[in-house]
């Protein structure tokens, strides 16, 4: 709410749009049938990651269609929402976790990818995205 007020005062329409969409998504998640009164921090992080990914995907589609005028605001909103996410791990740090998980599970082939993905995804929830984990697990299991 503080960030929304700041964006309103500074007349930053891109930030205001992004922050209002975050607020809306959180309220929707809280009012869904069967949900609790409040969200856990992990659920909030997952929701924010989803919102960032949606905007990045939209921007990629707009760029493919040669519409930079529509892609730029999407990327700007994604960056604003990303400010509320915890610090993401670098690819090298994620790779260390993947290697440890592969050694711990004794994974040797692509058949073991699901096991490794499950362990690493739980361990690094909210600290990196699944695509990065998947790419690194494939690289390590294929080599």
- What is the tens place of the pLDDT at every residue in 124-138? 877 887 888 888 988
Residue 142 pLDDT > 90: no
Residue 124 near residue 94 (C-beta atoms within 8 A): yes
What angle do the packed helices 2-9 and 13-31 form, to 10 degrees?
150
Q: Which pTM does this prediction carry? A: 0.69
**Domains of the chain by start residue, with CATH:** 2-82 (1.10.1510.10), 91-142 (1.10.10.410)
């Amino acid at each position: 709410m503080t960030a929304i007020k700041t964006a309103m005062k500074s007349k930053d329409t891109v930030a205001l749009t992004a922050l209002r969409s975050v607020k809306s998504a959180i309220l929707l998640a809280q009012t869904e049938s069967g949900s609790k009164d409040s969200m856990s921090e992990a659920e909030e992080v997952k929701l924010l990651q989803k919102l960032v990914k949606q905007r990045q995907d939209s921007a990629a589609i707009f760029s493919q269609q040669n519409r930079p005028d529509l892609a730029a605001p999407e990327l700007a909103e994604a960056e604003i929402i990303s400010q509320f996410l915890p610090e993401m791990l670098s690819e090298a740090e994620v790779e260390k976790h993947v290697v440890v998980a592969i050694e711990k599970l004794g994974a040797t082939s692509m058949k073991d990818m699901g096991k490794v993905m499950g362990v690493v995804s739980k361990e690094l929830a909210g600290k990196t995205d699944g695509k990065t984990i998947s790419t690194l697990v494939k690289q390590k299991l294929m080599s």
